């Protein structure tokens, strides 16, 4: 019987083929263990990624809720103080001169 090895075929597979004259029906135990281990690892990693995505979604919803409350509070500050320009470390309100002083009407602060 002539020995012919198909490209990509392991020597074990070639020997089995030579002895039986047909293709093997199963992979060997070592190969099965490697295959099962790889698939199990992929399943575990997929599960972990899913858990991370679920946690990410929950965190994004929480952030959205806090941002909404902050915007509502900003509107309260605008209503009460007519500004929302507040130093968050000290609480000092920065009232910008948005309305011109009538005494300065027509004057410039240009210093030549």
**Would residue 85 count as lying in a domain?**
yes
**Would residue 30 count as lying in a domain?**
yes
DSSP E strands in the chain: the ranges are none
Q: What is the pLDDT of residue 1?
A: 44
Of residues 67 and 3, more confidence is placed in 67
Q: What is the pLDDT of residue 41?
A: 98
Q: What is the pLDDT of residue 23?
A: 87
Per-residue pLDDT averaged across 68-89, rounded?
Answer: 96
CA-to-CA distance for 96 and 108, rounded, in angstroms? 18
b/e burial code for range 60-88 (CB count within 10 A of at least 16 → b): eeeeeeeeeeeeeeeeeeeeeeeeeeeee
Range of the domain at 30: 22-93
Task: Kindly report, residue by residue over 42-62, the tens digit of the pLDDT.
Answer: 999 999 999 999 999 999 999
**Would residue 57 count as lying in a domain?**
yes
**Would residue 102 count as lying in a domain?**
no
**Would residue 13 count as lying in a domain?**
no
**Would residue 84 count as lying in a domain?**
yes
Inform me whether the pLDDT recorded for 3 exceeds 80. Answer: no
Nearest to 95 by CA among 77, 108, 111, 75: 77
**Would residue 86 count as lying in a domain?**
yes
**Would residue 106 count as lying in a domain?**
no
Per-residue pLDDT averaged across 84-109, rounded?
Answer: 75
What is the domain count for the chain?
1
């Amino acid at each position: 019987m002539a020995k012919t090895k198909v490209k990509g075929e392991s020597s074990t597979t070639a020997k089995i083929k030579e002895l039986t004259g047909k293709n093997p029906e199963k992979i060997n135990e070592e190969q099965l263990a490697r295959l099962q281990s790889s698939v199990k690892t992929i399943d575990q990693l997929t599960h972990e990624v899913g858990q991370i995505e679920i946690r990410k979604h929950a965190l994004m919803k929480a952030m959205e809720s806090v941002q909404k409350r902050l915007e509502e509070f900003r509107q309260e500050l605008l209503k009460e103080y007519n500004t929302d320009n507040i130093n968050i470390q000290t609480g000092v309100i920065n009232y910008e001169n948005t309305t011109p002083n009538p005494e300065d009407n027509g004057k410039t602060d240009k210093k030549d």
